[in-house]
Structure 1
Amino acid sequence: MKGTCVKIAFFGECMVELSGQPLRRTFGGDTLNTALYLARLGRRRRLDISYATALGKDNISQDMLSAWQEEYIDTRLVRRLDDKLPGLYLVETEPNGERHFHYWRNDSAAKFYFAAAVTPLERAIENNEFDVLYISGISLAILAEDAKAILVTLLETHKAKGGKVVFDNNFRPQLWTAKQAQYWYQQVLPFVDIALITEDDDHKVWGEGDVTERCRELGCGEVVIKRGSLPCLVATGLQTRPETYQVAANPVQTVIDTCAAGDSFAAGYLAGRLSGESATVSAELGHQLAAIVIQHPGAIIPPEAMTEMM
């Protein structure tokens, strides 16, 4: 895709984040984190980022929307719902940087994105407005069953029109069971060009097994297995000529907060791949960004902290 402008649409949920001591209010969510970091990296790589979700019509929702627009994220796919609010989560961080999440999201606006009307994302996919559609396991998990089916149909339509699909397997057992996740991942993976797989989450859903082979059998073309501070595993050309690589993570002496480590890695990897870089160079970009992010508190770090990459 080198030399052309690539348009990427993300679908998911962004929530109000409370974290730190004393508590501070920010925002975050797996797909939004990746979208925002990719928007920052994409400014000189001709990557245009749009985000699809639902928000309320309250002041906090407006603050979130304005913040995304300041990050050069196109928000025309966002729905505003009269009677809903964004979800909320509280982060408790241990001295080693590991974090624990507490959620209030049962009635969050994003869960109702596909309810009661044809959505801006559906219209955009029908009109073939995007080159890449990105979703995660959480994107699916928050939705009612009929809305999950709508989202999978969107992937099928997008793929049929020549678009690419990226899927991150992020699994949250508070949202659904491993068996439910297995079923819907099996519906999604046949349309996926790049699967970003967190190894720990994969084990929670499937147990032990060959991640790459499972994805290949389901029709996926490229797999990146994220393994924290261990080297990531990359497999390309799964449906044609398979090649596999290991790419070492950047060492970090002081970890402040691992929140958004995997999401930022995904952004770095996609920044490379969607601008024509090799899988190994792209994984190095992912590791570089993740190493910066985990040295700062919260899901979204200040732009000046990653100036060297932008």
Structure 2
Amino acid sequence: MTDLVAIGEVMLELSSTDAPHALSTAKVGVAGDTFNTAVYAARHGANVAYFTQLGDDPYSAKMLALLADEGINTEGIVQLEGREPGLYMIANRADGERTFHYWRSQSPAREMLTTASAVALFRRCIERSKIVYLSGITLAILPDQALDALHQSLCEYKAQGGQVAFDSNYRPRLWQSHQKAKAVIQRFMSITDIALLTDEDEQNLWGCESATQVAQQHVATAVKVLIVKRGAKDVVSFTRTEGDDAFLPPVFIDVPQVKTVVDTTAAGDSFNGAFLAAHLAGKSLSVSISCANQCAGSVIKHRGAIAPKNATV
């Protein structure tokens, strides 16, 4: 049985190894939010599969090879003839924070779940998994037809005992409008079991000013575990048992301080991967969050989304 199936987009990543905008020293890598989470979950011992669409070009071949090297099952990846993956570039500030520039409008991943065969493949991929993981970016790139197919597939999957983990990962530029983003994200939050959120995304989406307000925003959903990541501040977690209307009082978990932050790209993604791996291994919530904090703290000491294998713990 697969522990975790992640669905989303794998992209080429350009990140500078020197000055923030120095193209002459740009490093080419592979990344994408749910891909990053899949990699870090696999590195922490989870049995992971990935679902997406790629092209038949040399870079797509390298992506498949990288996934295989990380021990991630690629049976759910379809290659489309004559297509190429999307691209993004990271521009870092001196404090390690970053901005992104995307070239992804023709990405094959945008056509996931738009055919009956793709939907059937997705259902086969997830039917024996414990958790399906997706993000707001996954949702933002899909057309309405694919969103409907994804939602129905996940509802049927949950009816068989599966769990859904979700990070809203709100990127306004990817959405037609703020209202569209809220409607789609709320639709999928309603079937989410494990919510891995950030305070900034929740403020931008819903106007939440605190972790408690985030929990209140999602109290009417199916969420049983809700985690609010707050950068260098304590992680806040909320839980409830099946059938409970309200969350239990929040639990705060310290975030170890990192003296030198190089690049915060994939801080949240790596947190999610390490957390899900620990959770799947039966660790307690507090231990799982501590493992996730440790992983994210290691990742932000390096440039790019995927840190060297010997750098992550």
* TM-score (normalised: structure 2): 0.91
Asked whether 1:259 is paired with 2:265, we answer yes
Structure 1 contact 79–113 (Cα < 8 Å) conserved: no
Cα root mean square deviation, aligned: 1.4
Q: State the Cα distance separating 1:243 from its structure 2 match.
A: 4.4
C-alpha distance after superposition, 1:60-93 (max 9, x if no partner): 0000110110000000000111132110001111
After superposing the two structures, state which structure 1 stretch, 58-67 or 216-225, moved more. Answer: 216-225
Cross-structure match for 2:164: 165
Structure 2 contact 44–278 (Cα < 8 Å) conserved: no
Cross-structure match for 2:189: 189
What secondary structure, in the 3-state scheme, does the structure 1 residue paired with 2:292 have?
A: helix
After superposing the two structures, state which structure 1 stretch, 203-212 or 240-249, moved more. Answer: 240-249
Q: State the Cα distance separating 1:7 from its structure 2 match.
A: 2.0
Q: State the Cα distance separating 1:211 from its structure 2 match.
A: 0.9
1:113-192 residue pairs with structure 2 within 5 A?
A: 113-119=112-118, 120-125=121-126, 128-176=127-175, 177-192=177-192
Structure 1 contact 65–75 (Cα < 8 Å) conserved: yes
1:28-107 residue pairs with structure 2 within 5 A?
A: 28-42=31-45, 47-107=46-106
Structure 2 contact 57–82 (Cα < 8 Å) conserved: no
Cross-structure match for 1:272: 278
Asked whether 1:213 is paired with 2:216, we answer yes
Of all paired residues, the percent bearing the same amino acid is 37
Q: Partner letter of residue 282 of structure 2?
A: G
* Number of matched pairs: 297
Structure 1 contact 178–206 (Cα < 8 Å) conserved: no
Q: State the Cα distance separating 1:192 from its structure 2 match.
A: 1.1
Structure 2 contact 89–100 (Cα < 8 Å) conserved: yes
Structure 1 Cα separation of the partners of residues 279 and 178 of structure 2: 30
Cross-structure match for 1:203: 203
Structure 1 Cα separation of the partners of residues 303 and 92 of structure 2: 9
Structure 1 Cα separation of the partners of residues 161 and 208 of structure 2: 34
Structure 1 Cα separation of the partners of residues 39 and 302 of structure 2: 16
Q: State the Cα distance separating 1:123 from its structure 2 match.
A: 3.0
Q: State the Cα distance separating 1:208 from its structure 2 match.
A: 2.6
Q: Which residue of 223, 227, 238 maps to 2:226?
A: 223
Q: Partner letter of residue 129 of structure 1?
A: R
Cross-structure match for 2:22: none
Unaligned runs of 5+ in 1: none
Structure 2 Cα separation of the partners of residues 83 and 141 of structure 1: 24
C-alpha distance after superposition, 1:249-296 (max 9, x if no partner): 110000000000000111121122111111111111111000000001
C-alpha distance after superposition, 1:20-47 (max 9, x if no partner): 14011101111000000100101xxxx2
Q: How has the CA–CA distance of structure 1 residues 300 and 64 changed in structure 2, closer, same or farther, with 3 Å as cutoff? A: same
What secondary structure, in the 3-state scheme, does the structure 2 residue paired with 1:165 have?
A: strand
Structure 1 Cα separation of the partners of residues 148 and 275 of structure 2: 28
Structure 1 contact 178–204 (Cα < 8 Å) conserved: no
Structure 2 Cα separation of the partners of residues 33 and 23 of structure 1: 19
Structure 2 Cα separation of the partners of residues 272 and 7 of structure 1: 11
Structure 1 Cα separation of the partners of residues 64 and 135 of structure 2: 21
C-alpha distance after superposition, 1:182-223 (max 9, x if no partner): 111221122211000111011111113611122221221110
C-alpha distance after superposition, 1:155-184 (max 9, x if no partner): 111101110110011011111132112111
Structure 2 Cα separation of the partners of residues 7 and 248 of structure 1: 27
What secondary structure, in the 3-state scheme, does the structure 1 residue paired with 2:187 have?
A: helix
Asked whether 1:284 is paired with 2:290, we answer yes
